[in-house]
Amino acid sequence: MLRITTFLLLLGALPCIGYGQKPDAPVGNLLRTGGEFERITKTYNPWGGVDGQGFLRTFEARAGVVTNMGNTASTPFPCTPCPVDMNNDGLLDLMVVDADGYTWCYFNSGTKTEPKFTRAEIVPVMLSSGYLRGGPGTQCPGMAAVDYDDSGKISLVYGDWLGKIYFVPNQGSKAVPKFIQPKLTSDNQVATSLKGDLWANYFYPQVYDWDGDGRKDLIIGEGTYSANSIWLFLNQGNNTTPVYNQKDGKKIALVRGLGREHLTPFIIDWNEDGKPDVVTGEREGKVSVYINESVNNREWKFAEPFGVKFGTTDKIGALSRVTFADINGDGLPDAFAGRSNGRIGLALNKGTKGAPVFGNLEDIKGVQPFPNYATSPDVDFRPPERSTFHLLRVVSNKKEEVETYEEGFTPPPESKGNKALKMEFYDAGQKVFTNPLPLPYESDKSELWSDNLGNTYGIRFKNDFKLVPGKEYTLSFWAKGNGFTRRLEWNIYGHEHIPASKDEDGLVVWGDADYTIKNGFSVGSEWNKIRGTVKFTRRSSDKVEPADKPVTFTLRIYFEGTGFFYLDDVSLTEGNNPF
């Protein structure tokens, strides 16, 4: 048998940088396709909150969920819709948070009986710092939009996968809401334990005066491993400064999940008897109703739960999240469901007061405010979770290709094609939330593509390539742009398993070696040719056979700060090639 251990080996070459005129086309580009950006994929601009088919759509995200088999599976997480009047015009708007942590506001421009949603505006708050390694879905928040502080303004309450709760006050007015990203997210965190310890995961909050004492209480559904519960935290403070913790008698298991997991409660008087009931989604996609049969405000009892159908189905997608409000003015609560693809479903109530009956869930339509654009299938782009309106696209000087055409664009001298890659920050034209999320300047060492400088995001070329130790290669590309004064860097990263030692039984102990060759560069308003010499070597103590065994590498371009950046004709060739 083999034993495996891990250690980190970082090697940096001494690359050089130069500027000059474009030489003859390099032969044997190790990047194969991908360096010229002539291939494109047409898509829609996501920052309007409307997809290419005209449906309201937030970002998709995944996170790890424990299955019935006890394994953790990367699972799509639905968004959370909150129907609420955000601007005091008498119409229900939609506040929606996706599992990546972005909050979208869709203002209703219709009437009380015929709602109309067009585009979204991004709300500039991102509070959770949790990260689930292995893919996006780093926040997985639930959200409630409610006047929790008696200000008459709708504020926001978030719960995340780490088990944290955040209260975000509306610092604007009833008609013009305003939310501000705090310098420290801990400033907005509300403790749910006496010592501030975290005690469960995947929090989904509601705020409601459950015991009728005039103070709004906190209700939390959770998704910790195994069967879950819905918890009631009685407010021991006031509505301006609430206090929630695990003091005896102040944290109560309001509803036991009875085998259900990942509970997502909503408080509503389902049967119109004057008492608040609990409706919840769960991991397998069903929706259950717990009718309140309590006889006083101190001893709470619920009838056996029953399921809700939407049309003919009782499952609306895993990790179901449902909220209710009368969207068409008939006096009956309609159902809003978050979809795992980022869309929002609506099921109209066709029943009567106290006896809801829902039709099929239909995805809500909107109006896409931005033209389609083109991406490159040969690169990935990973922005930080806490920034907005970044767009990586392919541009060209071809008027007939509307998805890529950019007026005034000129390819590099003697370019092989008409296209280039461009990273920019899009003007989203928001009218209410005009303070977009800035790029974060904080370290996130767990982030796959970041380092401890923070605020790092990158372009990664999908085509891996092999480099031989001790051999020289030349990286070259054309670039221009403005900004990014904190850092522009090309980065070539490789990884391999190597025999590290032998154990007491003579068995091989394997280790991991990482190699990084990188260098910074600068850009100006005109195309410049960037050149770097690439070479790596193994440590003399590393016994790899054969000694010239190649290692697989990837190329990335990193940014810090703000600005725009053009990239074209990227090549990696054997030898130290001059211009």
Where residue 8 falls among pLDDT bands split at 50, 70, 90? very low
Determine the average pLDDT of the residues in 243-266. Answer: 91
- The whole-number pLDDT of residue 457 equals 67
pLDDT at residue 74, rounded to an integer: 84
How high is the pLDDT of residue 541? Answer: 79
Q: Is the pLDDT of residue 65 over 60?
A: yes
**Which segment of 111-120, 139-148, 267-276, 314-323 scores lowest on mean pLDDT?**
139-148
With bands split at pLDDT 50, 70 and 90, how would you rate the model's confidence at 443?
A: very low
The boundaries of every CATH 2.115.10 domain in the chain are 48-369
Which residues face 564 on adjacent strands? 482
pLDDT of residue 488 exceeding 50, the answer is yes
Residue with the larger pLDDT of the pair 272 and 74:
272
Q: What is the mean pLDDT of residues 515-536?
A: 95
Distance of CA 518 to the CA centre of its chain: 28
320: pLDDT strictly greater than 80: yes
Alpha-carbon separation of residue 475 from 376, 513, 517 (angstroms): 20, 22, 11
In this prediction, residue 456 carries a pLDDT of 58
pLDDT at 500: 80
Question: What confidence score (pLDDT) does residue 508 get?
Answer: 81
Query: Is the pTM here over 0.85, yes or no?
Result: yes
Coil vs helix vs strand at 56: strand
3 state SS of 64? strand
pLDDT tens column, 169-225: 999 999 999 999 888 888 999 999 988 899 999 999 999 999 999 999 999 999 987
Q: What is the pLDDT of residues 368-426, one digit of tens each?
A: 999 999 999 999 887 766 678 889 999 999 999 999 999 999 999 988 799 999 998 88
The CATH number for 3-45+377-574, chosen from 3.40.50.9100, 3.40.1000.10, 2.60.120.260, 3.40.630.90, is: 2.60.120.260
pLDDT for position 63: 83
- Closest Cα to residue 564, out of 390, 407, 442, 412? 390
Question: What topology does CATH give the domain 48-369?
Answer: Tachylectin-2; Chain A (2.115.10)
pLDDT of residue 444: 40
Q: Which residues contact 187 (CB under 8 A, 6 or more apart)?
A: none
3-state DSSP of 483-551 = ECCCEEEEEEEEEEEEEEEECCCCCEEEEEEEEEEEEECCCCCCCEEEEEEECCCCCCCCCCCCCCCCE
Which candidate, 124, 141, 143, places its Cα nearest to that of 132?
A: 141
pLDDT at 6 over 80: no
| Distance separating alpha carbons of residues 368 and 389, to the nearest angstrom | 15
| pLDDT of res. 393 | 96
Q: For the chain, where do the domains classified as CATH 2.60.120.260 start and end?
A: 3-45+377-574
